[in-house]
Amino acid sequence: MSNSHLFMTSGFPRAPLKNGIGRYICQLKRVTIKFCKNHGDSRGIREFIETELVDFSRKNPGVVVYVKTRRHRAPCLNAEYLNGQKEYINCHNFSKDEVNKWLHLLLSRSGKEVMRYRKMWHTDNPSIQGIWTPFTFKDPKLNVASFPLNVYWGPPNPKPTATEIVMEMFRKQKLEDNQTDDITINEKDNVKSSQGQ
């Protein structure tokens, strides 16, 4: 389990100066390539400068490239970005292709500090329908009600009580009786009518 994230700064990905909404501008301002003319560890970078650097410069005219010789020092790439941040890459024993790849990485970076991203997205408007409030789904009837409510405010679809079952049976029976409009009178009906009421 690593702990490097514990003291690494954390944040969210942001585009510098709304880059991309209007036009996209490459955030790399200038690159300084420092190398030694003799030492072996600068061989790769020397090869890169001789073969691929001019093409890189022509393709990316927005990047100023400085080339500096330093004796007895390891070769490095120093990048400066539009937001003022700087990046340093030590190119000790890099091959030509490695230098090329690292240089293109610097080109694609925005100069934002290397940090742990808490979320891989950012938005100014996280909610379209509006953020939930305790009143979003509140029944408007409750706004004018007096508490405690005098309507049924218990569990939905409760099981009917014995009393309710009996009342329901009685009501059904009454309906059946009313429906039979026939004048056939029998003992049962007499008994019911005298006791039911």
Partner 1 sequence: MSFSMKFLVKPLVISYGNSITVHRQIHRWVAPTLKALNNRKREMGPQPINRRSDYLEWNYKAEIYSFGKRLGEDFKEDLLREAFTEKSFINLEAEKLMKVGVDPQLDMKDNANFSVEGEKFISQCVLKYLVSVLPSLPSEHIESIHNFLLSDEKLSTVSKNIGIDDLVLTAEYPLEQSTLSRSLKSVIHALVLSSGEERASKFVTDFIITQLCGEDITPLCTPENPIEKLKSTVGANIESRIIVESAKNTLLANYQVGIYQEKNLLGRGCGESPWIAEEMAALDALWRLWGITSNKKPFPIKSQKIVNSVNM
Partner 2 sequence: MSALGRVRQWNAFSQVWHLFDAKWQNPFQSAAVITKYLMGKHKPFYHPFANCGDVVVVINSRHIALLGDEWKKRVYFHHTGYPGGASWTLAWELHEKSPTMILEKAVYSSMKGNLQRRHTMKRLIIYPDDIIPEDIHTNISSQIKQLRKVPKVLESDEVNNFPRIFKLPVDYVPS
Residue from 23, 37, 159, 188 binding partner 1 (CB under 8 A): 23
Counting Cα atoms < 13 Å in the Cβ hemisphere of 126 gives 5
Is 134 one of the binding residues for partner 1 (CB under 8 A)? Answer: yes
Q: Which of residues 142-171 bind partner 2 (CB under 8 A)?
A: 142-143, 147-149, 153-155, 158, 161, 163, 166-167, 169-170
Cis peptide before 126 (omega within 30 of 0): no
CB 19 within 8 A of CB 25: yes
Residue from 9, 108, 125, 186 binding partner 1 (CB under 8 A): 125
CA distance 29 to 63: 5
Residue from 134, 175, 184, 186 binding partner 2 (CB under 8 A): 134
Is 135 one of the binding residues for partner 1 (CB under 8 A)? Answer: yes
Pairing of strands 64-69, 28-35: parallel
The 8-class DSSP code of residue 19 comes to: T
Where are any strands of DSSP class E within 1-160?
10-11, 28-35, 64-69, 76-81, 86-90, 116-117
Residue number with CB closer to partner 1 (7 or 152): 7
Residues that bind partner 2 (CB under 8 A): 131-135, 138, 142-143, 147-149, 153-155, 158, 161, 163, 166-167, 169-170, 195-197
Residues that bind partner 1 (CB under 8 A): 16-18, 21-23, 25-26, 29-30, 32, 61-64, 66, 68, 80, 82-84, 124-125, 128, 130, 134-135, 138, 140, 143
